[in-house]
């Protein structure tokens, strides 16, 4: 084995040396020698290009030899093209761009940035540029929940369960992707809040429509988190300390060897929080509860090796490791010992190639092997009351369940994602995406089975899914009109062995169930730009959401297997417009977006109980209508205002129960879903406040959520309401040496409001966080 890997890597290195090419690097500045950040550098007549960093540097590693033309461009500046000859040595090329001459005619022509182009795509999309939040002492969910049409509801502090709601749909109907690949976690034991902001390039949120090019499923939309990537050496480390003994650290390192065509990188993060705040019990008036058993600990690390001078333009080998431990906090009961642990090891291989056997055919394939483990530990026979006294009447063998538990569940998944993009012409392109997933689940809990007298944890099961998406994109009228038509095939096969269980005092033997189905989905998204500042959008999708493995397999403890689950289906429609204009009404820039949406969801998967056991089943028919809007104002170079609001009404559309009787909740609001919320923020920016290369940012952000029911609104006197929340965050960020050093301080819920977002579970009050970050970039080799 070791000899094989030695030969493999030596062969690769020999190939690298034989295929060495030249590199091109340099700097882009304005005519006053100030570096231009985000400028585009492109080798004409090729697809090679780069974007400058915070110091104006760029690098292109695989530059063809011979005579080439290189173009540099930046917003508000006249582009510049230089002709050079590339030989065997490294070449340095600098650009000095002048302000576009049309400024003198009071007409400003600007080229859209890559993120701005995404915002003007046909889909209803929110793009969060991490450059605007990187360095802040906050977390991803705190940023996402302030975006238009999105609400995240948490049950506690760092590491606690949370649900993402997009246009009224939430939970597993929302697909979470990391760099376009499904989030790898032991079925909900990893939260996106654990991902440090400093590792992120941007966050894309597709509302209502899941693009077929992702090859994924979901009825409510997609959250796609894109990690940062540079073409040169860099080092980034940060540490954050805050209330409730919250500690967070992250590190990223990359070294580029351009002569060898090789890159080595490593990174990781560490999170720990006690989450030990006190609140009044939502179930017993006057009883105070301290979350004294809610500690959360997680860490992850990984390494990658990239080769970019072989036949494949990029071969990336990597491995990621994740671990967590979470104490289980009781609300109705005083839990002091039960906890859960989760782990994942993910080796992966990524291949990329342009002109893959055919000109203009781009190939990308990602293979992942996901080895997951989950442990639920509940072995204490001693039970405590909320006042700390011992409950001597309790006969349960564990603090939570009737049996003691010490599970050791394992799951092995093989995932492969193939993406082919074929550009037929400037007008037409085709994208084919195939997402394959195979999962084998092996539950085990010898302790619980010993107490029960039979195998209570379940038996091995497996499932296979294939999702194939084909998208045709058409661009007309100088790209003022864009059409994206997609079709998808959703196929899944399952083989599930049911649990042993007791029925009429007799032990029922397990049965094997097999299920196989295939269904089609389709979508259409349009964008028309009648004026350079106005974009009109419309989209429709018939979407699917395949059952998750824990819904099919159960949890081996309390939830039985459900082998015959059908996928959720929804029809989603969006209609909206986006305005983006400069120098309007005395303002530097104005952006305004509004969207109306409609969703019809059937076969909703939800957890149900027969009074003894729990299992997932297909229930319900929900119709959602609503609209959202967002306004962004760059008042001047120093002041920036932004605000948004969302109205969404989700109603039970199932008129009759399965037994034919009338449904008493028909046409009522679906409980526990916020229906009216909004956000507002103001920022003050100032450059060179403490000398050259320094930057100051002050901000205030406010969030409002109107009251809503957490159970069916049978009576207007129903006390089961989550009250109106109105909170405010303030912060300061100070950068030195052109963002190399950043210090930030943030106070969340500065007025210490009582906040409740989910099932009457109060959140922490005022919390303060301090963060220090160091970033080193080296664009010259």
Picking from 100, 129, 150, the residue at the C-terminal end of a domain is 100
727 and 629 share a domain?
yes
pLDDT of residue 342: 92
133 and 214 share a domain?
yes
621 and 769 share a domain?
yes
Q: Does residue 391 belong to any structural domain of this protein?
A: no
Residue 335 predicted with pLDDT over 50: yes
Q: Which residues pair with 441 in a beta bridge?
A: 411, 461
pLDDT of residue 508: 62
* pLDDT tier, 85 (very low <50, low <70, confident <90, very high otherwise): confident
135 and 82 share a domain?
no
150 and 218 share a domain?
yes
Question: Is 350 within 8 Å of 314 (Cβ atoms)?
Answer: yes
pLDDT tens-digit profile of 98-112?
876 443 333 344 556
The most confident of 23-27, 610-614, 666-670, by mean pLDDT = 666-670
What's phi and psi for 408, nearest 5 deg?
-140, 70
Residue 179 predicted with pLDDT over 50: yes
Calculate the dihedral angle through the C-alpha atoms of 448, 449, 452, 457, rounding to the nearest 10 degrees.
80
Provide, rounded to the nearest whole percent, the portion of the chain with pLDDT above 90.
38
Residue 288 predicted with pLDDT over 70: yes
pLDDT of residue 608: 64
User: What CATH number has the domain bearing residue 490?
Assistant: 2.40.170.20
**Looking at residues 168-173, what average pLDDT do you find?**
81
191 and 66 share a domain?
no
441 and 590 share a domain?
yes
Apex CA 554: angle with CA 553 and CA 557, to 5°?
A: 135
The upper half-sphere exposure of residue 685, i.e. CA atoms within 13 Å in the direction of its Cβ, equals: 10
Place of tokens 């400028």: 39
**Looking at residues 635-651, what average pLDDT do you find?**
93
The upper half-sphere exposure of residue 643, i.e. CA atoms within 13 Å in the direction of its Cβ, equals: 5
149 and 286 share a domain?
yes
Q: Which residues pair with 437 in a beta bridge?
A: 415, 465
Residues near 409 by beta carbon (within 8 Å), at least 6 away in sequence: 373, 374, 375, 376, 441, 442, 443, 444, 445, 457, 555, 556
Q: What is the mean pLDDT of the chain?
A: 83
Q: Determine the distance from the C-alpha atom of residue 408 to the mean position of all C-alpha atoms in its chain, rounded to a whole number.
A: 28
pLDDT of residue 450: 80
Q: Determine the distance from the C-alpha atom of residue 194 to the mean position of all C-alpha atoms in its chain, rounded to a whole number.
A: 11
More confident residue, 547 or 302: 302
Say which range, 221-235, 310-324, 385-399, has the weakest mean pLDDT: 385-399
Say which range, 205-219, 432-446, 614-628, 651-665, has the weakest mean pLDDT: 205-219
Say which range, 64-73, 169-178, 608-617, has the weakest mean pLDDT: 608-617
Residue 32 predicted with pLDDT over 80: no
pLDDT tens-digit profile of 576-608?
999 999 888 888 899 999 999 999 998 887 766
Q: Does residue 105 belong to any structural domain of this protein?
A: no
120 and 96 share a domain?
no
pLDDT of residue 19: 38
Residues near 339 by beta carbon (within 8 Å), at least 6 away in sequence: 325, 326, 327, 328, 377
Picking from 100, 126, 160, the residue at the C-terminal end of a domain is 100
Provide, rounded to the nearest whole percent, the portion of the chain with pLDDT above 70.
87
Q: Does residue 686 belong to any structural domain of this protein?
A: yes
Q: How, if at all, do strands 568-584 and 80-86 pair?
A: unpaired
714 and 770 share a domain?
yes
Picking from 100, 129, 156, the residue at the C-terminal end of a domain is 100
* Domain span including residue 83: 23-100
93 and 119 share a domain?
no
Question: Is 127 within 8 Å of 202 (Cβ atoms)?
Answer: yes
Buried/exposed 659-686: b ≥16 CB within 10 Å, e otherwise: eeeebeeeeebbbbbbbbbbbbbbbebe
Sign of CA dihedral 385, 391, 393, 398: positive
**Looking at residues 664-678, what average pLDDT do you find?**
89
Q: Does residue 395 belong to any structural domain of this protein?
A: no
Secondary structure (H, E, C), 251-267: EEEEEEECCCCEEEEEE
User: What CATH number has the domain bearing residue 31?
Assistant: 2.60.40.1120
Q: Does residue 583 belong to any structural domain of this protein?
A: yes
Q: Does residue 107 belong to any structural domain of this protein?
A: no
pLDDT of residue 487: 92
475 and 575 share a domain?
yes
Other beta carbons within 10 Å of 252 = 21
Number of domains the chain is built from: 2
Residue 210 predicted with pLDDT over 80: no
Buried/exposed 445-483: b ≥16 CB within 10 Å, e otherwise: bebbbebbeebbbbbebbbbbbbbbbbebebeeeeebbe
Residue 423 predicted with pLDDT over 50: yes
Q: Does residue 619 belong to any structural domain of this protein?
A: yes
């Amino acid at each position: 084995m070791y000899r094989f890997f030695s030969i493999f890597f030596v062969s690769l290195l020999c190939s690298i040396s034989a295929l060495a090419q030249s590199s091109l690097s340099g700097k882009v500045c304005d005519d006053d020698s100030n570096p231009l950040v985000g400028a585009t550098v492109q080798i004409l007549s090729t697809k090679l290009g780069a974007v400058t960093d915070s110091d104006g540097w760029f690098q292109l590693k695989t530059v063809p030899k011979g005579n080439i033309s290189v173009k540099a461009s930046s917003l508000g500046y006249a582009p510049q093209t230089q002709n050079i000859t590339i030989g065997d040595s490294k070449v340095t090329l600098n650009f000095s761009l002048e302000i576009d001459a049309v400024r003198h005619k009071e007409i400003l022509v600007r080229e859209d940035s890559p993120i701005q182009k995404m915002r003007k795509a046909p889909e209803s999309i929110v793009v969060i540029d991490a450059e605007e939040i990187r360095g802040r002492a906050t977390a991803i969910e705190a940023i996402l929940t302030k975006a238009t049409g999105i609400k995240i509801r948490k049950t506690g502090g760092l590491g606690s369960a949370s649900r993402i709601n997009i246009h009224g749909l939430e939970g597993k109907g929302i697909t979470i992707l990391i760099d376009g690949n499904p989030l790898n976690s032991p079925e909900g034991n990893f939260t996106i809040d654990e991902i440090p902001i400093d590792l992120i390039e941007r966050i894309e949120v597709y509302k209502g429509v899941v693009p077929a090019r992702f090859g994924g499923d979901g009825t409510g939309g997609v959250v796609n988190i894109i990690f940062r990537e540079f073409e040169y050496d860099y080092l980034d480390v940060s540490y954050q300390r805050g209330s409730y003994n919250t500690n967070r650290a992250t590190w990223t390192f990359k070294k580029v060897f351009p002569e060898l065509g090789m890159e080595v990188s490593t990174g990781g993060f560490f999170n720990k929080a006690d989450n030990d705040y006190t609140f009044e019990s939502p179930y017993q008036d006057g009883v105070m509860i301290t979350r004294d058993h809610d500690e959360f600990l997680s860490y992850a690390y990984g390494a990658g090796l990239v080769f970019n001078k072989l036949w494949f333009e990029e071969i990336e080998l990597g491995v990621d490791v994740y671990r967590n431990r979470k104490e289980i906090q009781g609300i109705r009961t005083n839990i002091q010992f039960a906890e859960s642990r989760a782990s994942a090891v993910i080796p992966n291989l990524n291949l990329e190639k342009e002109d893959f056997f055919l000109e203009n055919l781009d190939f990308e394939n990602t293979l992942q092997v996901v080895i997951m483990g989950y442990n639920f530990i509940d072995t204490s026979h001693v039970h405590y009351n909320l006042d700390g006294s011992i409950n001597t009447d309790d006969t349960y063998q564990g603090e939570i369940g009737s049996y003691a538990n010490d599970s050791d569940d394992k799951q092995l998944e093989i995932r492969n994602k193939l993406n082919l993009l074929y550009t037929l012409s400037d007008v037409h392109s085709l994208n084919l995406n195939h997402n394959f997933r195979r999962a084998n689940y092996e539950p085990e809990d010898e302790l619980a089975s010993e107490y029960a007298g039979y195998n209570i944890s379940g038996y091995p099961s497996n499932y296979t899914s294939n999702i194939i998406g084909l998208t045709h994109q058409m661009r007309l009228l100088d790209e003022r009109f864009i059409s994206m038509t997609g079709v998808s095939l959703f196929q899944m096969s399952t083989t599930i062995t049911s649990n042993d269980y007791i029925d009429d005092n007799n032990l029922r033997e397990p049965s094997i169930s097999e299920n196989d189905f295939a269904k089609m989905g389709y979508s259409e998204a349009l964008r028309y730009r009648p004026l350079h500042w106005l974009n009109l959008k419309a989209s429709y999708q018939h979407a699917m959401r395949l059952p998750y493995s824990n819904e099919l397999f159960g949890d081996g403890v309390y939830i039985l297997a459900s082998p015959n689950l059908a996928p959720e289906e929804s029809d989603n429609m969006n209609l909206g417009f986006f305005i983006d204009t400069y120098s309007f009404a005395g303002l530097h820039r104005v952006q305004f977006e509004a969207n109306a949406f409609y969703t019809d969801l059937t076969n909703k998967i939800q957890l149900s109980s027969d009074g003894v056991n729990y299992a997932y089943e297909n229930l319900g028919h929900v119709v959602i209508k609503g609209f959202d809007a967002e306004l962004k104002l760059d008042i001047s170079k120093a002041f920036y205002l932004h605000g948004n609001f969302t109205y969404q009404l989700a109603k039970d559309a199932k008129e009759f129960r399965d037994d034919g009787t009338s449904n008493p909740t028909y046409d009522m609001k679906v409980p526990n879903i916020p229906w009216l919320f909004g956000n507002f923020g103001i920022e003050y920016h100032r450059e060179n406040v403490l000398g050259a290369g320094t930057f100051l940012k002050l901000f205030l952000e406010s969030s409002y959520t109107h009251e809503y029911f957490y159970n069916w609104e049978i009576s207007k006197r129903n006390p089961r309401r989550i009250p109106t929340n109105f909170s405010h965050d303030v912060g300061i960020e100070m950068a030195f040496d052109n963002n190399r050093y950043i210090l930030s301080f943030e106070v969340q819920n500065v007025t210490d409001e009582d906040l409740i977002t989910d099932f009457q579970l109060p959140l922490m009050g005022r919390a303060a966080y301090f963060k220090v970050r160091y970033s080193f970039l080296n664009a010259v080799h």
